[in-house]
Amino acid sequence: MRYFIRLAYNGASFHGWQIQPDDCSVQETLEQALSMVLRQEIALTGAGRTDAGVNAAMMVAHFDVDAEISNPDGLVHSLNGILPKDIAVYSVFMVHDDAHARFDATSRTYKYFTHSSKSPFLYPLSWHCPPTLDFDLMNQAAARLSDYVDFTSFSKLHTDVKTNNCRIYEAHWDKVGEQRVFTITADRFLRNMVRAIVGTLVEVGRHKISVDEFCNIIEKKNRCAAGMSMPGNALFLWNITYPYPIK
């Protein structure tokens, strides 16, 4: 029987979602907790892979068990009792046997948080940006992302993906209280893609490159042409959508 699990985590203590040799990952930590509570070996398949230090306000994964879980809410309570404080499980629920946390997802949304005034409360989960960044110009450049499908220029080099094509549905900066937040939604993302996009948009905001030059970087399909990769601590996997309800 197959179940989906919905959770969130602060990525600061983890070397990303996916299991890594000799490094602590969210996937491994959660698998160990599930295996302990359910008393059988549990393997998780996540909706995606967040890099080291990246956070998730919403992550979805699936796992299979031999028999129906009689009390899913009780399982959630037990998991939260033994998991570290930087991982929170919100729900566990049965799905059909063919449901797939990764392949069934229709879109994913990431948010990147920035602040321009020094703050002892925002800095662990937000990037302290220069106060002179031109966010209007950065929004003009972000709006051009939906004109393209090949984002090789924003992909980590030497990955094992078959295509660097993605469909971007939205990309924009918004003022939220003291912060400026970049929101981007696509059908899929490449490794390091969001942090590379934000880093290149920052170059636009600093007036180091124009909007047209930003587009030329995309068209070059060369990671070396794009800007720096931004710190992962300010990046959140924010939402994942499916063609069926997610509790």
- Residue 187's pLDDT is 96
Instruction: Give the residue carrying structure tokens 């990431």.
Output: 110
Q: What is the pLDDT of residue 20?
A: 84
pLDDT at residue 158, as a whole number: 59
Tokens 């509570």 found at: 37
Q: For residue 100, what are the contacts with CB-CB under 8 A and spacing of at least 6? A: 45, 62
Arithmetic mean of pLDDT, 107-114: 98
The CA distance from 45 to 30, in Å, is 11
Closest residue by Cα to residue 191 from 160, 219, 225, 226: 160
Please report which helix (H) or strand (E) contains residue 175, including its range. strand 168-176
Eight-class DSSP state of 230 = P
**Strand 55-64 to 127-128 pairing:** unpaired
Q: 228 near 48, Cβ under 8 Å?
A: no
- Give how far the C-alpha of residue 141 lies from the chain's centroid of Cα atoms, to the nearest Å: 21
* Domain boundaries of the chain, sorted by first residue: 2-103, 112-178+188-234
At residue 159, the pLDDT reads 65
Question: Do 2-103 and 112-178+188-234 fold alike per CATH?
Answer: yes
pLDDT at residue 56 tops 90: yes
Active site residue 160: no
Looking at the domain 112-178+188-234, which fold is it?
Alpha-Beta Plaits (3.30.70)
Q: What was the pLDDT predicted at 160? A: 67
Q: What is the mean pLDDT of residues 159-176?
A: 90
Q: Which two tokens stand for residue 46?
A: 């996540």
Percent of the chain with pLDDT over 70: 98
Is 2-103 a CATH 3.30.70.580 domain? Answer: yes
- How many whole angstroms separate alpha carbon 78 and alpha carbon 34? 9
| Active-site option among 22, 51, 98, 212 | 51
Decide if pLDDT at 82 tops 70. Answer: yes
Structure tokens at 11: 């990525």
